[in-house]
Amino acid sequence: MAADRTKFILDEDRIPRSWYNIAADLPTPAPPVLHPGTGQPIGPADLAPLFPMELIKQVVSQDREIEIPDPVRDAYALYRPSPLFRARRLEAALDTPAHIYYKYEGGSPSGSHKPNTALAQAYYNKAEGVTRLATETGAGQWGSALAFAGAMFGLEVKVFMVRSSYDQKPYRRVLMETYGASVVASPSPDTQYGRSVLAETPSHTGSLGLAISEAIEDTVSHPGTKYSLGSVFDFVLLHQTVIGQEAIEQMALAGEEPDVVIGCAGGGSNFAGLTFPFIGRGLRGGPKPRIIAAEPEAAPSLTKGVYRYDFGDTARMTPLVKMHTLGHDFIPEPIHAGGLRYHGMSPLVSMLKEQGLIEARAVHQRASFEVGVQFARAEGILPAPEPTHAIKVAIDEAMEARAEGRPRVILFNLCGHGHFDLSAYERYLSGKLEDYEYPAEKVADALKALEGLPVG
């Protein structure tokens, strides 16, 4: 009786058997990643110090389907397939003719979509003899996911956690330590780069770009260690496509096709995970829903950034990637959606935006918490601050449908729960939420640092 169902559940044997590689369907290939020293396209050898070879192969693969190894599928079975919900109570509260669906990734052990790639990365590293992983974390979601994956596959995990989150979210740190990881606030005294930043600014609140620099330095200076990252890179987006593949099957169970598919975008991975399978289907001649990325006004790379080559980190250690960027020196205000606090965007998502295959909208922190509370009161699930940006766009779409008096089928990714974000909700509920506006001058300054870098 799809007509009055609230959730659409797939059996364990419907966990996808392969990841979907959008490179196979793209009208034009993504611009090459460039070596920061030579300005030439990088090859597998350049990435080998950081990543295991199987992951590097996935980045260059043109195969549409990349098989998911059995041990990864077995670990996915702890929480996949994830449920698809019809937001009937939210629809009623909005008095909208729209049908709103959400894919819920907050039921994973660490509370977000991030284990979808953490488990894959841990597995491939372990298989190639790596004993220790170094990484950064913003909101703590990625660190928790990798700590969990490290526990599943028997790897040590070292996490550089952005200072502002480290202070705002002590329980995220405790969760990582419970899984066996070691966690340090970034900038940290554990790396040369961290020490140099602390010497200049002892009270530095940190940033994702800075923490990436520390994790890379840690990787190259510790034998047996490789680097793991939770977003932006092509193979991360690839691993997340289990979300959209399941969602396509679940929407069919519901007997509907989405008119619009929405995800919040920090580095782009949960957005891509849900939307790429839909975009690919459209590129192969299937239905073409509108696709919208929701980002914060405080770090609006897709709506206000430039599309050109930039570094992924603050210390200019990563390769140069062509992406929407606010400049690698740009340090976003400490908004509570820590996972969206990044100066750049995945190169694949950026290219799709440039080609008009996706849209983007920026959401103010206040509006995002307003709808976070509204959603919790209607649907019961407390959303993480990041997906409240997607909820805001979904609600705007539903209200537009109401104004037009026409139905609209809306699907968004509820990519994490907010149980570790209660201090942020407390600030909102007590009227103390910070009012960060779009930092136009800071962005203009940061973009100046791109002069002299390849434009592409």
Out of 181, 185, 265, 292, name the contact with ligand PLP by CB under 6 A.
Answer: 265
Distance CA(186)–CA(183), nearest Å, equals 9
Out of 150, 296, 339, 347, name the contact with ligand PLP by CB under 6 A.
Answer: 339
Q: Which residue has the tokens 């193979």?
A: 235
Indicate the residue among 81 and 338 with the shorter CB distance to ligand PLP.
338
Out of 149, 260, 261, 415, name the contact with ligand PLP by CB under 6 A.
Answer: 415
| Shortest distance in whole angstroms from residue 363 CB to ligand PLP | 13
- Contact by Cβ (8 Å): 333, 282: no
Indicate the residue among 134 and 384 with the shorter CB distance to ligand PLP.
384
- Contact by Cβ (8 Å): 111, 141: yes
Does residue 372 interact with ligand PLP by CB under 6 A? Answer: no
Pattern 212-231, ligand PLP, x by CB under 6 A: ------------------xx
Helices 170-178 and 141-153 cross at an angle (nearest 10°) of: 10
> Hey, what are 317's tokens?
């250690």
The strand pair at 65-67 and 84-86 is best described as unpaired
Using the rule CB under 6 A, give the single segment among 56-64, 249-257, 380-388, 422-430 that binds ligand PLP: 380-388
Does residue 418 interact with ligand PLP by CB under 6 A? Answer: no
Amino acid letter for position 134:
A
Does residue 386 interact with ligand PLP by CB under 6 A? Answer: yes
Using the rule CB under 6 A, give the single segment among 13-21, 121-129, 263-271, 356-364 that binds ligand PLP: 263-271
Using the rule CB under 6 A, give the single segment among 244-252, 301-309, 311-319, 384-392 that binds ligand PLP: 384-392
CA angle 382–384–389, rounded 5-degree value: 110
Does residue 125 interact with ligand PLP by CB under 6 A? Answer: no
Indicate the residue among 268 and 305 with the shorter CB distance to ligand PLP.
268
Does residue 267 interact with ligand PLP by CB under 6 A? Answer: yes
77 φ, ψ to 5°? Answer: -65, -15
* CA distances from residue 70 to 12, 18, 73, 123 in whole angstroms, order as listed: 13, 10, 5, 10
Amino acid letter for position 103:
K
Contacts of 356 (CB under 8 A, 6+ apart): none
Q: Which residue has the tokens 């592409």?
A: 456
Indicate the residue among 188 and 346 with the shorter CB distance to ligand PLP.
346
Given the rule CB under 6 A, which residues bind ligand PLP?
112, 114, 139, 141-142, 230-231, 264-271, 339-340, 384, 386-387, 415-416
